[in-house]
Amino acid sequence: MKSILTLLFAVILLNLTWAQTDIYRAEAERINDLVHTKLNVQFDFEKEEMPAEAWVTLKPHFYPTKSVTLDAKGMLIHEVSLLNNGKKSPLKYDYDSKQLLINLGKTYQKDESYELYIQYTARPNEVKQEGSAAISDAKGLYFIDPRDEDPEKPTQIWTQGETESSSAWFPTIDKPNQKTTEEIYITVPDKFVTLSNGTLIKQTKNADGTRTDYWKQDQKHAPYLFYMGIGDFAVVKDSWQGKPVDYYVEHEYEPFAKEIFGMTPDMLTFFSERFGYEYPWDKYSQMVARDYVSGAMENTTAVIHMETAQQKHGQLIDENAWEDVIAHELAHHWFGDLVTAESWSNLTMNESFANYSEYLWREHRYGKASADAHRASDLEGYIMGGNFDKDLVRFHYAAREDMFDGVSYNKGGYVLHMLRGYLGDDAFFAGLNKYLKEHEYDKAEAHQLRLALEEVSGRDLNWFFNQWYYSHGHPKLTVIVENSNDVAKLNIKQMQEPLFEFPLTVDIYENGIPARHTVWVKKQRVNTFDFKTSGTVNLVFPNADHDLIAEISQDLTTVQNVLLYNAAEDEYTSRKLALENLSGEQLMNEEALNTLIKALDDSYHGVRIQAINALDITSPKVKSKAITKLVQLAEDDPKTLVRAAALNKLSDLQDAAYLTTFEKATTSESFAVRAAGLEGLLDLNREKAISYAHNVDDEVIAQSPELLAEMIPLWKSKNDTSHFEALTEMAAFYAFVALQDPTLAAPAEEAFQWIMATDSPHATKKVMSLQEQIYNQMKTQQPMALPYVKQMTLKALEIKKKAYQENASSSLKSQVEIIEQTLKGYN
Residue number with CB closer to Zn ion (348 or 648): 348
CA distance 537 to 782: 46
- Alpha carbon separation from 749 to 11, 395, 436, 654, 743 (Å, rounded): 20, 45, 53, 27, 11
Residues 6+ apart with CB under 8 A from 645: 608, 609, 612, 613, 633, 676
Asked whether the beta carbons of 604 and 637 are under 8 A apart, the reply is no
Residue number with CB closer to Zn ion (236 or 326): 326
Asked whether the beta carbons of 192 and 186 are under 8 A apart, the reply is no
- Alpha carbon separation from 63 to 30, 60, 66 (Å, rounded): 10, 6, 10
Asked whether the beta carbons of 600 and 632 are under 8 A apart, the reply is no
Q: How far is the CB of 356 from Zn ion (least distance, A)?
A: 11
Q: How far is the CB of 732 from Zn ion (least distance, A)?
A: 26
Write the DSSP symbol of residue 616. Answer: -
Q: How far is the CB of 181 from Zn ion (least distance, A)?
A: 23
Q: Helix (H, G, I), strand (E, B), or coil: what is residue 583? A: helix
Residue number with CB closer to Zn ion (56 or 354): 354
CA distance 237 to 245: 6
In terms of Cα–Cα distance, which of 257, 230, 236, 245 is closest to 283?
245
Residue number with CB closer to Zn ion (401 or 749): 401
Q: How far is the CB of 160 from Zn ion (least distance, A)?
A: 13
CA distance 254 to 258: 8
Q: How far is the CB of 719 from Zn ion (least distance, A)?
A: 43
Q: How far is the CB of 12 from Zn ion (least distance, A)?
A: 23
Q: How far is the CB of 408 from Zn ion (least distance, A)?
A: 9
Q: How far is the CB of 327 from Zn ion (least distance, A)?
A: 11
Asked whether the beta carbons of 724 and 763 are under 8 A apart, the reply is yes
Residue number with CB closer to Zn ion (117 or 359): 359
Asked whether the beta carbons of 186 and 145 are under 8 A apart, the reply is no
Burial label for 524, CB within 10 Å (0-12, 13-18, 19+), is exposed
CA distance 580 to 558: 11
CA distance 803 to 812: 7
Q: Helix (H, G, I), strand (E, B), or coil: what is residue 670? A: coil
Report the chain's terminal Cα–Cα distance, integer Å.
35
Residue number with CB closer to Zn ion (72 or 354): 354
Q: Please give the residue ranges that form the binding site for Zn ion (CB under 5 A).
A: 351, 354
Residue number with CB closer to Zn ion (354 or 823): 354
Asked whether the beta carbons of 716 and 755 are under 8 A apart, the reply is no
Residue number with CB closer to Zn ion (357 or 560): 357
Residues 6+ apart with CB under 8 A from 145: 153, 154, 155, 156, 290
Residue number with CB closer to Zn ion (354 or 579): 354
Residue number of the CB closest to Zn ion reads 354
Dmax (CA) of the chain: 93
CA distance 260 to 320: 7
Residue number with CB closer to Zn ion (174 or 351): 351
Residue number with CB closer to Zn ion (351 or 545): 351
Asked whether the beta carbons of 97 and 71 are under 8 A apart, the reply is no
CA distance 641 to 634: 10
Residue number with CB closer to Zn ion (161 or 514): 161
* Residue 94 bridge partners (DSSP): 101
Asked whether the beta carbons of 105 and 176 are under 8 A apart, the reply is no
Q: Helix (H, G, I), strand (E, B), or coil: what is residue 9? A: helix
Residue number with CB closer to Zn ion (351 or 372): 351
Q: How far is the CB of 281 from Zn ion (least distance, A)?
A: 17
CA distance 9 to 727: 18
Q: How far is the CB of 354 from Zn ion (least distance, A)?
A: 4
- In the sheet with 92-95, reading across from the earlier edge strand, the strands are 65-71, 99-108, 92-95
Residue type, 731: A
Residue number with CB closer to Zn ion (408 or 815): 408
Q: How far is the CB of 197 from Zn ion (least distance, A)?
A: 17
In terms of Cα–Cα distance, which of 568, 389, 84 is closest to 581?
568
Residue number with CB closer to Zn ion (137 or 351): 351
Q: How far is the CB of 298 from Zn ion (least distance, A)?
A: 6
Write the DSSP symbol of residue 20. Answer: -
Residue number with CB closer to Zn ion (354 or 700): 354
Angle, helices 368-384 vs 573-583, to 10°: value is 60
Residue number with CB closer to Zn ion (351 or 547): 351
Residue type, 736: F
Q: How far is the CB of 551 from Zn ion (least distance, A)?
A: 26
Asked whether the beta carbons of 629 and 593 are under 8 A apart, the reply is no
Q: How far is the CB of 328 from Zn ion (least distance, A)?
A: 5
Q: Is the Cα dihedral 583, 584, 588, 589 positive or negative?
A: negative
Q: How far is the CB of 303 from Zn ion (least distance, A)?
A: 10
Q: With helix as H, strand as E and coil as C, how does 480-543 read?
A: EEEECCCEEEEEEEECCCCCCCEEEEEEEEECCEEEEEEEEECCCCEEEEEEECCCCEEEEEEC
In terms of Cα–Cα distance, which of 725, 750, 709, 736 is closest to 791?
736
**DSSP sequence for 273-295:** HHTTS---SS-EEEEE-TT-SSS
Residue number with CB closer to Zn ion (337 or 663): 337
Q: How far is the CB of 315 from Zn ion (least distance, A)?
A: 23
In terms of Cα–Cα distance, which of 249, 183, 194, 222 is closest to 340?
222
Write the DSSP symbol of residue 657. Answer: G
Q: How far is the CB of 332 from Zn ion (least distance, A)?
A: 6
Q: How far is the CB of 296 from Zn ion (least distance, A)?
A: 8
